[in-house]
Amino acid sequence: MAGSLNKVLLIGRLGADPEIKQMVNGKNVARISLATSQTWKDKNTGEKKEKTEWHRIVVFNEGLVNVIQQYLKKGSQIYIEGQLSTRKWKDEKTGQDKYSTEVILQGFNSTLTMLGGPNQNTISSQENKQSFDETPNSPQNDLDDDIPF
């Protein structure tokens, strides 16, 4: 279909350490659980509210998998660009069809940027290289974490 776009942009924190598995073809794949949160003030009570969404991220790009394996852990903040994909599978117990929607990082349209530290690393499968902030002691910004972006 001409004129369509399947692109996902997320900033969030890992809810668990990345899971790295080896596929049948010998290549590694990374699975990440990413949390994004939205906060607001309840108009009636004035109480601060928060809603967290969980996203399944699957990374097939070997360069990105290596970076994930070396540098990311539970609580790491990242920015990703990928594509939505829904896969169908059968529940072995009930025989019913089940569906999972995931964000896929694969091919030339994938990006992973590590956030939240003095050095920000950007790894893009399109560029197939790593770009590092070379300032060793750059000051950290004291930004309010309550800002939902």
How far apart CA 110 and CA 116 sit, in angstroms, is: 20
pLDDT at 58 over 80: yes
pLDDT in tens, 64-108: 999 999 999 999 999 999 999 999 988 889 999 999 999 999 988
Give the HSE-up count for residue 39: Cα atoms under 13 Å, Cβ half-sphere.
9
Which pair of structure tokens corresponds to residue 86?
A: 């829904």
Write down the residue that tokens 């974490």 correspond to: 145
- At the topology level, CATH places domain 8-132 in OB fold (Dihydrolipoamide Acetyltransferase, E2P) (2.40.50)
Mean pLDDT computed over 29-40: 96
* 3-state SS assignment for residue 101: strand
Going by C-beta distance under 8 Å and a sequence separation of 6 or more, which residues neighbour residue 29? 20, 21, 22, 23, 58, 59, 60, 65
pLDDT in tens, 129-140: 333 333 333 334
